[in-house]
Structure 1
Amino acid sequence: MLARCEEIMRDVCADFDAELKEFNGEDDYVHLLVHYPPKVALSKLVNSLKGVSSRRLRIEYAGEVNRVIMHGRFWSRSYFAGSCAGAPITVVRQYIEQQKRPY
């Protein structure tokens, strides 16, 4: 499901003329490194990433998604976004790659 989530989020980013540079996650969250143009409102991008992935994953993995989690919500309302303009891209990528990914 995590691999499919990455595919969906890459497609959503492309719709915003953005690029998903790095993706990783665990059972209950994901890490994304996204390069997006200044014309894109980050809140709209995140809302679309969450909304589209939630709809598609619920349909494609209907038997595996536990609808009781978070009162029926696939993602929580919150998110964290940070700028990495001062950090070397290799450091940010390394951080995301080192997150524990379930197998």
Structure 2
Amino acid sequence: MSPRWVPDPNVRKGRSVIHDLHAHLVFVTRDRRGPFTDEILTRCEEVMRNVCADFGAQLREFNGGTDHVHLLLHYAPQVRLSTLAGSLKGVSVRRLRQEYPEHIRKYLQGDHFWSPSYFAGSCGGAPLTVIEEYIENQKRSV
């Protein structure tokens, strides 16, 4: 008798699609100045988890340093990654400015907090455990 097939928890089903999409995003602050403390990184993660949930995505891993954040996302094919990235950056800075106004104001360049560019990499070639371990082991250095 053959062993029963166990479904992969990463494979998700939609109405007309079965998918397993992951992306590694990196956002850096404008001019790589270091606004992040451990407290602010923790709050940034909470905000970004909520934004992902609003898009039907899942924030699998989050970490960062004084001037950047790494995210590992699990998302559906109908999610436009560039739109999600824009929302993650926009909502996070809006919340951080509301909650830490004096601190964040020191790191704004004009009205800008995040660099306008970002890194996005698909995570299909390397095993996800390697990417998760990489992000988990990033030094916060704060």
Aligned-residue Cα RMSD (Å) equals 1.2
Q: What residue number does 1:34 align with?
A: 73
Q: TM (normalized to structure 1)?
A: 0.94
Q: Distance in 2 between matches of 1:101 and 1:62?
A: 22
One of 84, 97, 103 as aligned partner of 2:136 = 97
Q: What residue number does 2:122 align with?
A: 83
Q: How does 1:1-103 map to 2 (within 5 A)?
A: 1-103=40-142
Q: What residue number does 2:19 align with?
A: none
CA-to-aligned-CA distance 1:15-60 (integer Å, 9 cap, x gap) = 0000000000111110000011000111000000000001000010
After superposing the two structures, state which structure 1 stretch, 84-93 or 5-14, moved more: 84-93
1:81 is paired with a residue of what secondary structure?
A: strand
Largest Rg, 1 or 2: 2
**Maintained 8 Å contact 1:67/1:73:** no
Deviation at residue 69 of structure 1 after TM alignment? 3.9
In structure 2, runs of 5+ residues without a counterpart are 1-39
Does the C-alpha gap of structure 1 residues 11 and 68 become closer, same or farther in structure 2, counting only changes over 3 Å? closer
**Maintained 8 Å contact 1:22/1:93:** yes
Q: Distance in 1 between matches of 2:61 and 2:133?
A: 9
CA-to-aligned-CA distance 1:55-92 (integer Å, 9 cap, x gap) = 00001000211445433311110000001112111100
* Percent sequence identity over aligned pairs: 61
**Maintained 8 Å contact 2:63/2:71:** yes
Q: Distance in 1 between matches of 2:107 and 2:124?
A: 38
Q: TM (normalized to structure 2)?
A: 0.69
Deviation at residue 12 of structure 1 after TM alignment? 0.1
Aligned length: 103
